[in-house]
Amino acid sequence: MTIYPAIDIKGGRAVRLLQGRADQETVYGENPAAVAAQFKADGSTWVHVVDLDGAFTGEPQNLAVVQSIAALGMKVQLGGGLRTRAAVERALGFGVSRVVIGTRAAESESFVGELVQAFGEKIAVGIDAKDGKVAVKGWVDTTGTGALDLARRMDALGVRTLIYTDIGTDGMLTGPNFAAQEAMLRAGKFGVIASGGVSRREDVVKLAELGQRYANLDGVIVGKAIYEKRVELPDLLKIAG
């Protein structure tokens, strides 16, 4: 199981939003690359980056910052505003290892299929759900599409990695929605990266135990709990093995 420490970028700074709300912002660092460098020093090889400005505007806004993170030698998983093939190609050209398609995946299966054909495992799909329904455009809009239904359609397209975020728990430090994550793990052959709600080491221990039952649990994204010093990244990396 891989630990993906998270950096959300807004206005060039490392921030966290409460349940994705732009008006509920906490700034954790003026220099996201410095935050990533600490993650690397702690032993992490991956970093999960979200371009929040891109998510809200529909076009990546912080690729120069992302490039500075990739230049550290870390594997970068990037989401936020990647809604055209040109944007995806540009991000990959900036050194990103894996891009996350969110809004467009809910809107266009053909778009995802074309990307998977062209870039294979470098394409992941982010499914963000509120009460089991898919949310898009920086979580501003909730669709009528069921998260599990969308996941099965992505599986059929050959998507190998899904990032599943339960919006109700994201940034709340209340613990993950384990039942929702387990349902997603059962939904297809894809690898699942769990996101949302990790607040203590026991949450990661429980996810690691879930990973022993489901081989397709690829990892877990941890953000606010690291910044608030509720968990220590080196400890989580040991738990994950």
Summarised one tens digit per residue, pLDDT across range 5-28 is: 999 999 999 998 877 778 888 999
Stretch 170-197: mean pLDDT, rounded?
Answer: 91
Residue 168 pLDDT exceeds 80: no
Distances (CA, A) of 27 to 16, 18, 92, 97, 226: 7, 12, 27, 26, 13
Stretch 163-191: mean pLDDT, rounded?
Answer: 89
DSSP-assigned letter for residue 97: S
Does the active-site annotation cover 128?
yes
Q: What domains can you pick out in the chain, each with its CATH number?
A: 2-239 (3.20.20.70)
d(CA 118, CA 109): 14
Q: How confident is the model at residue 138 (pLDDT cuts 50, 70, 90)?
A: low
Active-site pick, 23, 51, 53, 128: 128
| Percent of residues, the chain, with pLDDT higher than 70 | 98
Does the active-site annotation cover 149?
no
Q: What pLDDT is stored for residue 171 in this prediction? A: 66
**What is the pTM for the complete model shown?**
0.94
Query: Within 10 Å of residue 241's Cβ, how many Cβ atoms?
Result: 9
d(CA 147, CA 241): 29
Whether the CA torsion 15, 20, 21, 22 is positive or negative: it is positive
Q: What pLDDT is stored for residue 120 in this prediction? A: 98
Active-site pick, 8, 53, 203, 218: 8
Q: What pLDDT is stored for residue 222 in this prediction? A: 97
Query: Within 10 Å of residue 105's Cβ, how many Cβ atoms?
Result: 28
Q: The tokens of 225 are what? A: 């709990």
- Mean pLDDT over each residue of the chain, to the nearest integer: 94
Whether the CA torsion 122, 40, 48, 72 is positive or negative: it is negative
Residue 105 pLDDT exceeds 80: yes
Q: The tokens of 45 are what? A: 């090889």
Q: What is the pLDDT of residues 87-102, one digit of tens each?
A: 999 999 999 999 999 9
Residue 53 pLDDT exceeds 70: yes
